[in-house]
Amino acid sequence: MSIEKFNYENISVVLVNTSHPGNIGASARAMKNMGLSRLALVQPVEFPSGVAVGRAASALDILENTTVHESLPEAIADCGLVIGASARSRKIPWPVLLPEQCAEKVLQDCQRNRVALVFGREDSGLTNEELQLCHFHVQIPAAEQYSSLNLAAAVLVICYELRRCAMRMAEDRPPTDEEYWDIEKATGEQVEQFYQHLENVLVRLDFHNPDNPRQLMQRMRRMFSRIRLDSMEMNILRGILTHIEFHLDNPEPGGGKSARKRSDSNDEAIRNKQERKRKRKDFTEAAMSKRNVDTMVEILEQARSNKKNGD
């Protein structure tokens, strides 16, 4: 396989709230150096910009095709895999990848799903809320004394690892789960709709209190991010939530009656099963009892025969 056969068009670099337009241009140049072309910006402070054009050098085509978005959820709405760059440990641990692990996962996924590599602000990175929109975090193992990388440098490191990994994976290798999976992964938009639906149902069930959330939804996000549901699995979960809502909305007469009917039916099935089990037990005990009687008769007859022979 040639490295050009990887679907780079499915990979987007997303820059969030970039303050200096020069970093946008330099990031575009880094992307083009490593074969990527899709750049998305979320609320850039200044764009378009002559400074960005000057720093982009021969990557003007990337700037010309750059998309600008009002929010990160909007920018990643069609993505099945989202990886956010983070240099800090978080209050709630999240699955973390090294750059080479990130590259391998991206290249496996990009054959079937859109992928977003998200980079935060120059001074503060991504917020906790933004990082919770990501399936994984990627950390570049810089020196502890000074771990803060220039934005374009961070983009270059990740893009370089992608190209290096692509060159290595171009050799013959068995297919991965992501490549032969039969259903596409759920997109960012589908995932966000699911979380909103889930939270609404949990609130109605009095399981979740928004005034005292205890990080419940953050932990639910982390759990489902590890699993990475496909679109069919997502539809199944949404269907379950909708079914719960229906019965919350219709406790009587329809919902209650149907629930009681199912409950009565289940109780009857359990009783029938217990009855069949009891009958099998009685039959087994009877068979064992008969076998014991037959055995005792044989022993007595044998003893009687031995006694006659002895006489």
CATH number at residue 173: 3.40.1280.10
- pLDDT for position 183: 84
| Dihedral class, residue 17 (left if φ above 0, else alpha if ψ from -120 to 50, else beta) | left
Length of the chain: 311
**Which of 160, 180, 200 lies at the terminal end of a domain, its last residue?**
180
| This model's pTM is above 0.75 | no
Same domain, 132 and 230: no
In a domain, 79, yes or no: yes
> Would 243 be classed as within a structural domain?
yes
- 3-state SS assignment for residue 14: strand
Q: What is the dihedral of CA 269, 270, 273, 278, to 10 degrees?
A: -140
29 and 136 in one domain? yes
In a domain, 281, yes or no: no
pLDDT at residue 111 greater than cutoff 70: yes
145 and 194 housed in the same domain: no
Domain identity same for 209 and 167: no
Do 100 and 8 lie in one domain? The reply is: yes
Same domain, 206 and 168: no
Q: First vs last Cα of the chain: how many Å apart?
A: 95
How far apart CA 16 and CA 14 sit, in angstroms, is: 6
Winning range, highest mean pLDDT, from 79-83, 111-115, 146-150? 79-83
**32-46, 161-175, 204-218, 277-291, range with the lowest pLDDT:** 277-291
Task: In whole angstroms, give the CA distance from residue 107 to residue 6.
Answer: 7
Same domain, 34 and 163: yes
What domain range is 228 assigned to? Answer: 188-249
Average pLDDT over residues 57-79: 96
For 256-265, b/e burial (b = at least 16 CB within 10 A) is eeeeeeeeee
Domain assignment present for 194: yes
Give the chain's domain count: 2
